């Protein structure tokens, strides 16, 4: 485990993040104050949660484009339940949103597994369906802050040990996904299926079932993020988190998760999300124009993919005995 | 027959090619004569592929020269080689499924009309002519995806000939073909010879070398170690030249005491692929499955392993009824399947060695759903040491290992599941003689330890040399079963092809 070849890529990204933070600090002294860093992390928490779900899917050679639509639908369901039944405890709404996300993820998973439709097509379709469902549920109306109960809105903002609960949620998800990816048979199956689906079949791993669980996990995390999003921003409507799925995929790619599957780590996904989060949330603070932000994010994505492609390049066959260990 | 004085169609002299850290070819010479087949033999890694790439303009030699009709030529690109009439039919035929036969034949050098647009009429007419000339009855307008393997091969040959070839290189052309298709290929080679083409024929199979080649050239470790006329040599001489030492025993099969039944299959059938498959496999036995390509052997094995579903049939393992609906159930029941394409289906190259080895046995090293890494590592170490796998550490990716060591990882992976039955599909296909006998010795050793082996093979010497018993399949049915004493090459071929026993 210690010598995973991908490790240096994550180190590279960590160095890039530190350089970026250092550069901002030079122009904007006080940026690295603990309070400010916590707030930046907090702003990135939802992206981290979604990127970890997406990581499971991409590792097993899939993609979930419906992840932001799932967040929006599950979040809206939680908000509508809150409006309809103000007395329901928030923990119930949180579980309901997660459950709804898991169901929506399971639908993706079943379509990919049972009907063998390519993941990009399945999730492109369900993305539209899930957004459309929000319209059907709300009639196009917004669920506004004043309709939600205070308890509903309070959870992500509450502070525990100096850190907002929203951030605590993301830390818990990081721990959970680290355990799943590193220590469970399912996690190993994601890597196997993404790395070489044919070999996985002969090893007795069901490729379809592995895909299903990847989408289930991504869906459940999107559902959880749905509640956190609607509660934090105190609004729910058809277009919340519109286009956010691309940020999520970008975070994974920047974090070194191979879009071809089978390579990458949870740590990479987190770092990728943090990098994007800093660019999106910190650059406006120091007056970098939004157009520059877009250019910077785009450049970083291409650099990240180029770095990954370089290290993944076929090095030819290993024929010399002495070359075998030198690599 | 041309005599030695006649000019070679192409001659290589003193060719040297060095890659960083390895000298692939050193001062080799080779001459190909019009109307003759020259067999190029050598173990894997002897430099045959490098030579083919130099001949086809993919690699440039570091030294030496190539002459055609006495004039010095240089193939700086693949196009240059094909303009000089040098063309190759590759091991894995590179064709496009979504295009038609004619488009495949002329892709890259399609004839054009005076406006510079593709001349479709000419493409189809010329494609038809070329296909007719090699005796292939294929409609040039068909899509390639509608054709079977043999016909695809014909298209590849037609493509090679479409550039007005003078020198045709065939790199293991029979590797994927059945016996009948191989016969058709021999006829084709005869036709090309009659047309005056110079043919370079690369093969691992001695029977076909002696059948169709006129001359031979032997490579070993990047050097030319012998050449001459086939009529003046024999198999033993060639093998000695190839390996540099006499091979005393090609098939190291030990005598193993065969025990009681381990696996009993009865009434296996599939709606379209096979029917009435039934047999018993005993402890310590190597059971060969012989047949032509497409006889249903691999299809049946995949059903037995749970990848496809049979419509009827029963399996008993150790006298208990076993239900196998998926590969994971098969592994649980003690059946493992080592597929034919070990390179693509065997390992997950980005994963570390130990994770590859333990992948099917993770349940054994897990507690309450969590993998215990120390136990996992111990399991991987035990089996890689047993196979004498040489690796710096078990957490390096399998992709960094050489081919032979990757094979060991695949085998260690299966042995770690402690199987009762191991199905080996074409265990030595495409590997060199040295590694072949290592695989055979290992099979024999496994059988000696009480493992039961099913060996699917299309190579008659391997079946004769290794199996205790052989089952022959034809068109999805078992047509014959022979014990070791009854087996002969002739019986195998007759049963597989459905030819009656000669009076």
Do A3 and B353 meet the contact criterion of CB atoms below 8 Å apart? no
Nearest chain B residue to A260 by CA: give it. B350
3-class secondary structure per residue, B314-351: EEEECCEEECCCCHHHHHHCCEEEECCCHHHHCCCCCC
The residue assigned the tokens 């196979």 is B387
Looking at beta carbons, which residues of chain B come within 8 Å of A202?
A: 305, 327, 337-339, 345-346
Q: Is the pLDDT of residue A316 over 90?
A: no
Do A157 and A148 meet the contact criterion of CB atoms below 8 Å apart? no
Contact at CB, A319 and B371, closer than 8 angstroms:
no
Strand partners, A143: A236
Residues on chain A bordering chain B, Cβ-to-Cβ distance under 8 angstroms: 1-5, 179, 183-185, 188, 191-192, 195-196, 198-206, 262-263, 317-321, 323-325, 327
Q: What is the pLDDT tens value at each position of chain B, 503 positions in all?
A: 344 435 788 889 989 988 765 677 888 988 899 989 999 987 666 788 888 888 888 888 888 889 888 888 888 888 888 888 888 887 556 678 788 888 888 877 777 777 778 888 888 888 888 888 777 778 888 888 887 777 787 888 888 788 778 898 988 777 666 677 778 788 888 888 888 889 999 887 777 888 889 999 988 878 888 888 988 888 778 877 876 654 444 676 777 788 888 888 888 888 878 888 888 999 989 999 988 767 888 888 988 998 888 888 888 888 888 888 888 888 888 898 888 766 667 788 888 888 888 888 888 888 887 888 888 888 888 888 877 777 778 888 887 776 667 777 888 888 888 889 999 888 877 666 666 777 788 888 888 888 899 999 877 778 888 889 999 888 888 888 888 888 877 777 778 767 655 43
Number of other residues whose CB lies within 10 A of the CB of residue B230: 18
Nearest chain A residue to B363 by CA: give it. A185
CA distance B260 to chain A (A): 27
Q: Report the candidate in A290, A174, A301 with the shortest Cα–Cα distance to residue A246.
A: A301
Q: Which helix (H) or strand (E) holds A91?
A: helix A90-114
Q: Is the pLDDT of residue A216 over 90?
A: yes
Order across the sheet with B22-32: list the strands.
B22-32, B10-19, B63-68, B71-73
Query: Rounded to 5 degrees, what angle do the CA atoms B328, B329, B331 make?
Result: 65
Predicted pLDDT of residue B405 = 75
3-class secondary structure per residue, B471-499: EEEECCEEEEEEECCCCCHHHHHHHHHCC
Q: Which residue has the higher pLDDT, B461 or A112?
A: A112
Helix axes A266-282, A290-312, angle to 10 degrees: 160
CB-nearest to B345 from A3, A195, A199 is A199
Compute the distance between CA of residue B345 and CA of residue A277 in angstroms, rounded to an integer.
Answer: 39
Burial of residue A183 (CB within 10 Å: 0-12, 13-18, 19+) is: middle
Compute the distance between CA of residue B130 and CA of residue B118 in angstroms, rounded to an integer.
Answer: 18
What are the tokens at A186? 């399912």
Nearest chain A residue to B416 by CA: give it. A203
The residue assigned the tokens 């097509």 is A121
Looking at beta carbons, which residues of chain B come within 8 Å of A204?
A: 326-332, 360
Nearest chain B residue to A262 by CA: give it. B350
Residue A265 CB partners (closer than 8 Å, separation 6+): A4, A6, A10, A181, A255, A256, A257
Nearest chain A residue to B372 by CA: give it. A183
Strand partners, B289: B456, B471
Q: Is the pLDDT of residue A286 over 80?
A: no
Compute the distance between CA of residue B208 and CA of residue B460 in angstroms, rounded to an integer.
Answer: 13
Looking at beta carbons, which residues of chain A come within 8 Å of B341?
A: 198
Contact at CB, A184 and B395, closer than 8 angstroms:
no
CA trace torsion B260, B261, B262, B266 (10° rounding): 180
Looking at beta carbons, which residues of chain B come within 8 Å of A183?
A: 370-371, 373
ipTM of the complex: 0.71
Q: Is the pLDDT of residue A223 over 90?
A: yes
Would the CA dihedral through A108, A129, A244, A153 be positive or negative? negative
Q: Is the pLDDT of residue A172 over 80?
A: yes
Contact at CB, A320 and B22, closer than 8 angstroms:
yes
3-class secondary structure per residue, B200-228: EEECCCHHHHHHHCCEEEEEECCEEEEEE
Q: What average pLDDT does this structure show over A166-192?
A: 91
Compute the distance between CA of residue B218 and CA of residue B44 in angstroms, rounded to an integer.
Answer: 12
Do B423 and B340 meet the contact criterion of CB atoms below 8 Å apart? no
CA distance B391 to chain A (A): 7
Predicted pLDDT of residue A62 = 92
Do B397 and A5 meet the contact criterion of CB atoms below 8 Å apart? yes
Nearest chain B residue to A205 by CA: give it. B328
Contact at CB, A188 and B371, closer than 8 angstroms:
yes
Do A74 and A101 meet the contact criterion of CB atoms below 8 Å apart? yes
Looking at beta carbons, which residues of chain B come within 8 Å of A318?
A: 400-403
pLDDT digits (tens, 9 = 90+) for A297-309: 788 778 877 876 6
Do A28 and A278 meet the contact criterion of CB atoms below 8 Å apart? no
Report the share of chain A in percent with pLDDT over 90.
Answer: 39
What are the tokens at A40? 């930046």
Predicted pLDDT of residue B175 = 67
CB-nearest to B344 from A198, A317, A327 is A198
Compute the distance between CA of residue B104 and CA of residue B160 in angstroms, rounded to an integer.
Answer: 11
CB-nearest to A324 from B331, B351, B400 is B400
Predicted pLDDT of residue B431 = 63
Of the residues A203, A209, A268, A309, the best mutation for testing chain B's interface (the one with the most B CB atoms within 10 Å of its CB) is: A203
Compute the distance between CA of residue B356 and CA of residue B337 in angstroms, rounded to an integer.
Answer: 15
Predicted pLDDT of residue A171 = 94
Q: Report the candidate in B378, B433, B41 with the shortest Cα–Cα distance to residue B200.
A: B41
A262-294 burial code (b ≥16 CB/10 A, e <16) = bbbbbbbbbbbbbbbbbbbbbbeeeebeeeebe
CA distance B255 to chain A (A): 30
Contact at CB, A188 and B330, closer than 8 angstroms:
no
CB-nearest to A206 from B21, B326, B339 is B326
Burial of residue B248 (CB within 10 Å: 0-12, 13-18, 19+) is: exposed
What are the tokens at B168? 């045709």
Contact at CB, B21 and A195, closer than 8 angstroms:
no
Classify B23 as helix, strand or coil. Answer: strand
CA distance B34 to chain A (A): 35
Looking at beta carbons, which residues of chain A come within 8 Å of B329?
A: 204
Compute the distance between CA of residue B249 and CA of residue B433 in angstroms, rounded to an integer.
Answer: 11
Q: Within a 13 Å sphere around the CA of A192, how many CA atoms are in the beta-carbon half?
A: 32
Of the residues B48, B340, B359, B388, the best mutation for testing chain A's interface (the one with the most A CB atoms within 10 Å of its CB) is: B359
Of the residues B331, B344, B362, the best mutation for testing chain A's interface (the one with the most A CB atoms within 10 Å of its CB) is: B362
3-class secondary structure per residue, B137-179: CCCCCCEHHHCCHHHHHHHHHHHHHCCCCCEEEEECCCCCCCH
Do A270 and A220 meet the contact criterion of CB atoms below 8 Å apart? no
Compute the distance between CA of residue B301 and CA of residue B299 in angstroms, rounded to an integer.
Answer: 5
Predicted pLDDT of residue A217 = 96
Looking at beta carbons, which residues of chain B come within 8 Å of A191?
A: 348, 350-351, 355
**B498: phi then psi, degrees, rounded to nearest 5:** 75, 30
DSSP tag of B6 = S
Nearest chain B residue to A179 by CA: give it. B370
Q: Which helix (H) or strand (E) holds B109?
A: none
Taking CB atoms and an 8 Å cut-off, how many pairs form between chains A and B? 112
The residue assigned the tokens 């590797």 is B175
Of the residues A196, A199, A315, the best mutation for testing chain B's interface (the one with the most B CB atoms within 10 Å of its CB) is: A199
Nearest chain B residue to A1 by CA: give it. B395
Classify B21 as helix, strand or coil. Answer: coil
Task: Tell me the helices (H) and strands (E) count for chain B, helix number first.
Answer: 17, 22
Contact at CB, A191 and B327, closer than 8 angstroms:
no
CA distance B307 to chain A (A): 8
CA distance A235 to chain B (A): 39
Predicted pLDDT of residue B21 = 58
Q: What average pLDDT does this structure show over A199-224?
A: 91
């Amino acid at each position: 485990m210690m010598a995973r070849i991908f490790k240096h890529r994550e180190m590279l990204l960590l160095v890039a993040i530190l350089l970026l933070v250092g550069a901002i600090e030079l122009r904007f002294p006080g940026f690295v104050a603990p309070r400010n860093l916590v707030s930046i992390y907090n702003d990135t928490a939802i992206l981290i949660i979604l990127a970890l779900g997406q990581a499971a899917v991409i590792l097993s050679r899939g993609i979930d484009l419906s992840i932001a639509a799932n967040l929006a639908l599950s979040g809206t369901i939680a908000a509508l339940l809150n409006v309809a039944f103000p007395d329901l405890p928030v923990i119930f709404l949180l579980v309901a949103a997660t459950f709804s996300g898991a169901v929506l993820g399971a639908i993706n998973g079943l379509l990919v597994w049972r009907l063998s439709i390519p993941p990009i097509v399945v999730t492109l379709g369900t993305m539209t369906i899930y957004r459309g469902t929000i319209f059907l549920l709300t009639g196009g109306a917004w669920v506004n802050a004043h309709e939600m109960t205070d308890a509903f809105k309070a959870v992500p903002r509450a502070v525990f040990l100096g850190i907002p609960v929203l951030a605590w949620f993301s830390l818990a998800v990081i721990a959970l996904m680290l355990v799943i990816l590193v220590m469970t048979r399912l996690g190993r199956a994601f890597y196997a299926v993404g790395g070489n689906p044919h070999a996985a079949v002969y090893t007795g791993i069901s490729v379809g079932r592995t895909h299903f669980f990847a989408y289930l996990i991504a869906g459940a995390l999107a559902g959880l993020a749905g509640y956190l999003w609607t509660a934090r921003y105190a609004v729910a409507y058809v277009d919340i988190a519109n286009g956010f799925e691309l940020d999520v995929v970008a975070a994974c790619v920047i974090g070194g998760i191979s879009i071809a599957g089978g390579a990458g780590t949870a740590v990479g996904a987190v770092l990728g999300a943090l990098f994007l989060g800093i660019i999106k949330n910190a650059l406006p603070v120091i007056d970098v124009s939004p157009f520059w932000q877009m250019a910077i994010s785009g450049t970083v994505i291409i650099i990240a993919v180029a770095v990954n492609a370089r290290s993944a390049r076929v090095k030819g066959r290993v024929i010399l005995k002495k070359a075998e260990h030198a690599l | 027959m041309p005599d030695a004085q006649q000019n070679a169609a192409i001659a290589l002299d003193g060719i040297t090619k060095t890659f960083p850290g390895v000298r692939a070819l050193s001062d080799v010479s080779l001459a190909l004569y019009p109307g003759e087949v020259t067999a190029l033999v050598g173990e894997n890694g002897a430099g045959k592929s490098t030579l083919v790439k130099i001949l086809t303009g993919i690699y440039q030699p570091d030294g030496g020269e190539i002459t055609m009709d006495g004039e010095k030529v240089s193939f700086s690109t693949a196009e240059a080689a094909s303009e000089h009439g040098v063309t190759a039919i590759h091991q894995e035929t590179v064709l496009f499924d979504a295009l038609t036969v004619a488009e495949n034949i002329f892709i890259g050098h399609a004839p054009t009309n005076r406006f510079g647009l593709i001349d479709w009429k000419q493409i189809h007419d010329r494609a038809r002519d070329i296909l007719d000339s090699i005796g292939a009855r294929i409609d040039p307008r068909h899509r390639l995806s509608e054709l079977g393997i043999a016909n695809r091969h014909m298209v590849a040959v037609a493509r090679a000939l479409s550039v007005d070839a003078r020198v045709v290189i065939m790199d293991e052309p029979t590797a994927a073909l059945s016996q009948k298709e191989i016969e058709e290929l021999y006829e084709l080679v005869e036709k090309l010879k009659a047309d005056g083409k110079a043919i370079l024929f690369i093969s691992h199979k001695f029977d076909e070398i002696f059948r169709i080649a006129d001359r031979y050239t032997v490579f070993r470790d990047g050097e030319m170690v012998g050449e001459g006329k086939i009529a003046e040599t024999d198999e033993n001489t060639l093998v000695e030249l190839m390996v540099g030492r006499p091979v005393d025993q090609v098939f190291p099969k030990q005598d193993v005491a065969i025990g009681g039944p381990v696996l009993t299959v009865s009434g296996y059938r599939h709606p379209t692929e096979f029917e009435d498959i039934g047999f018993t496999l005993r402890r310590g036995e190597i059971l060969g499955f012989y047949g032509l390509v497409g006889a249903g052997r691999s299809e049946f094995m995949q059903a037995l392993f749970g990848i496809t579903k049979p419509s009827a049939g029963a399996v008993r393992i150790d006298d208990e009824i076993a239900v196998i609906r998926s590969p994971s159930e098969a592994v649980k029941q003690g059946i493992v399947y080592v597929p034919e394409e070990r390179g693509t289906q065997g390992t997950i190259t980005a994963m570390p060695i130990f994770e590859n080895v333990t992948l099917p046995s993770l349940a054994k090293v897990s507690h309450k759903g969590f993998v215990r890494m120390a136990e996992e590592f111990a399991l991987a170490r035990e089996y890689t040491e047993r196979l004498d796998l040489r690796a710096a550490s078990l957490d390096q990716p399998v992709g960094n290992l050489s081919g032979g060591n990757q094979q060991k990882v695949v085998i260690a992976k299966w042995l770690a599941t402690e199987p009762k039955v191991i199905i080996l599909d074409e265990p030595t296909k495409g590997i060199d003689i040295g590694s072949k006998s290592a695989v055979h010795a290992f099979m024999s050793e496994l059988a000696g330890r009480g493992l039961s082996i099913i060996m699917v093979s299309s190579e008659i010497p391997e079946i004769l040399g290794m199996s205790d018993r052989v089952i022959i399949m034809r068109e999805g049915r078992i047509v014959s079963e022979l014990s070791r004493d009854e087996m002969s090459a002739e019986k195998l071929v007759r049963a597989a092809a459905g030819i009656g026993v000669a009076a």
